[in-house]
Amino acid sequence: MKAERAWSIPYRIKSIIGSFDIDDLASVSLDSYKEIFNNNTLHRFNDTMASVFYEAVHDIKAKYNGDASRIWSNNSSSAKVAYDFLQFKGSGKKIATMAANILARQFKVPFSDYYSIDISPDVHILRVMRRTGLVSYDADLDSVIYRARELNPEFPGIIDFSCWEIGRTWCRPNHSNCEECIICNDCKKIL
């Protein structure tokens, strides 16, 4: 599933139920969310993600007084923000660090530090890191994380989106477009 589609699910739910007020979201039953997810094909795993969404709404209402921004308010540390995201059902390390990274990079949410925001490696990032020679060609996902920490200890995840975009746009698995790639001159092109 494309990331854009997954991250747009809350917006799509708002469009479907007509509100994004936490009380309105919490009033929807789990069975109704399953119906919404399945009827609108919101995710590849509709029943599971409907349950994850339902639980998240109720966690935000109970733990954060209905205000999700309390997760990252008060100049929180990046470790606290990632930890809080990990407490949501269905959120693993990759989603937790990706959410913190998006808040920091795209929404300019200030944290007291950024060193706990790791890169969130996927096939695109792994391919780019290997082909550029930043990691060995047989490097695994953990190696990518530690290499990013070495490259920028203060904010390892800062290269996440760039690598992902390069991997999706130019550094394709079978048809690389090295000539047009924005890092063409700096890439080792290990194909």
pLDDT digits (tens, 9 = 90+) for 145-190: 999 999 999 999 999 999 999 999 999 999 899 999 999 999 999 9
Q: Is 42 exposed, middle or buried (0-12, 13-18, 19+ CB in 10 A)?
A: buried
- pTM here? 0.87
Q: What percent of the chain has pLDDT over 90?
A: 94
Closest by CA to 132, choosing from 172, 164, 175, 171, is 171
Please say if the pLDDT value at position 67 is more than 90: yes
C-alpha neighbours within 13 Å on the C-beta side of residue 35: 7
Tell me the C-alpha distance between 12 and 9, whole Å.
5
Using CA of residue 144, residue 181, residue 158, residue 121, what is the dihedral sign? Answer: negative
More confident residue, 191 or 139: 139
Please say if the pLDDT value at position 7 is more than 90: no
- Going from N- to C-terminal start, the domains of the chain cover 1-68, 72-114, 123-180
Please say if the pLDDT value at position 3 is more than 80: no
Please say if the pLDDT value at position 46 is more than 90: yes
